A and B are shown apart, each in its own frame.
Chain A
Amino acid sequence: MDRKNTSPASLGRISRRGLLSSAAASGALIAGGGLLTRAGAQDFSGSKLTYWGGLIFADAANQLLVDTITAWGAANGVETEVVMINQNETVQKVSAAVEAGTMPDALDVGLDLLLLMSKQGVFVTLDDLYEKVGAAQGGWYEAVALATDTTSIAGGRTGLPFGVSGNLLLRRTDLLEEAGLVAPPETWDELVEQAALVTKSPVSGLGLALSNVGDGNVQCSIMQSFGGRIADDAGKKVTIKSEETRAYLAWLKDAWDKGVFPPGNATWDGAGDNQAYLSGQAAFIANTGSVGIAAQKDDPELFEVTGFSSLPAGPIGTISPITPQTRAIPATSGNQAAAMALLEFLSQPEFLSQYYSLAIYGPVLNDQKAFPAFDGSDAIHSGLLDLVENGTAPGWPDVFNTAFADAYSNFIVPKMAQRVVIDGWDAERAMNEAQEQAQAIYDKY
């Protein structure tokens, strides 16, 4: 399951209610005034601004973003064009735009892409804005601040965080209760046990992807929770081969042999686990909450019996990486002043509070904890808040440098997992290969 969403790259299916509510919201924002042009600020009326937003599963949130930006543009005399991009396609679209020189004035960009692009100097630095927003809302969450610090690679901060996503463990409470299980599993071993108890055709307990997609990289977190590491603390020498990793692989093999994985999970695409859960074939999945939202909308009965909890822990603890989403401004933008102003506008609590209740992100600033979205009434949002407060920085305990990002996007850990369960290799051989491959990647940097 991809972290963000699985819907097709289109805006469609905006409910009338959603439309009205978001229109009302943005209208309220504008009417609230005082946030638009400030006396003495740069006047950029008459200019154009293109914004690429990250399409997420919640239509209402997408619509709110579009409307808010459009309204801001209207109020400031800026001609805005908002394009919503499926977040499975962002890498391709951004790569193509960078090469062709057609980048927008501002865009939503995930952490991996931000890091990679910042290294190439694609984005401008916005430290002043970052400090300003942080000061105004109680300071940034430490994990978020650490993760998005691009100073070492770009000479300054290039991304303004606006939301955090990560994985929660979703479970079918009805099936588990039937088997006499009520509490969510605390450890990976417990998870496999519980999954095994409810695995009975057509249900497979553990809907974790083992394929070469983003979801497959959950395996990396599991490996780390067993103590395994991609590389050393300096982020240079690969250390995949270890007793801890061996322990992880043993856990995996055991789970596979118990038959808890759904058939085909080694070739799932980004939507594979979502589909498995939504069609009732999986009892557990790791997901950001997009599945929850989908269930809420299309299958309320399923939503009723879905429980949310944080990811289980391994022998050394819980590794539950958060993925900050940021907004950035390309250096090629011809309207950076307006873009900065827009970014600041979109960081205001009035907008974000509304947005968070509709979206599936956790907060990035301490004061945002107090938003109604996170008051505990909604399991998904509570889970996301918990993730931000207790989750781990991306890649932690490994150093999230560009080598790590490269190895990550090469699916080193899922491939190792596949070697063990699909090809039947013993742990030794699989680890050796993963070690070699990863070192070859690290050596490039």
Chain B
Amino acid sequence: MSSSVIIRFTDVSFSYGAKSVLNNISCTVEKGEFICLTGRSGCGKSTLLRLINGLITQDGGEIEIIGKNSIQWEMYQLRRKMGYVLQEGALFPHLTAYQNMCYCLKLNKYDEAYCRRRIQELLPLVDLDEEVLDKFPDALSGGQRQRVGILRAIAHQPEIVLMDEPFSALDAETRANLQDLVKKIHKKFLTTFVMVTHDTAEAQILATRIIHMDAGKIVSSI
């Protein structure tokens, strides 16, 4: 087994009740790859993503993540080694932008001084001004919210960043800007990214490898 494999699926199946969603999926992801999962809605790509961070559990097969079989992980410990970006960022509405950014850092028990420093350091990278820090999410634009969401997902230097259709609700210009931003971050930190998108053009821009799925199976992996 190559030591650079960070995610390995072996014959993984998953079904919601009687409806089979994934059929005997096998694949590997190497450290530093930027994987885009594409396919029509209902093809199982989001399910695959949720199996990686254990929000759901497979019915059959084995999943190995960051050197351990998934059943050996205390799930919340594993998730703290990942970043997670959802549509529109899914920011916590009761927390300020700054508190949102610190969320994963705090879960990983970093102290306030470190958080402060780390956020200051990353702000220019995601192209945000300090003045957004004390604002609540409802006072931010869609693009700003997603930048906060991305910063939140990378601040604690995760091993894997999972993204589920992060830019689908944004206008074309903002989407393009954020795609550049994510690309820049991937280049800079060489973190492993797994991103679900239905937009093949977006996948072309970002991915180092595109895994295309259909009806619960991997059709191609280029």
Q: Is A bound to B?
A: no
* A interface residues (Cβ-Cβ under 8 A, vs B): none
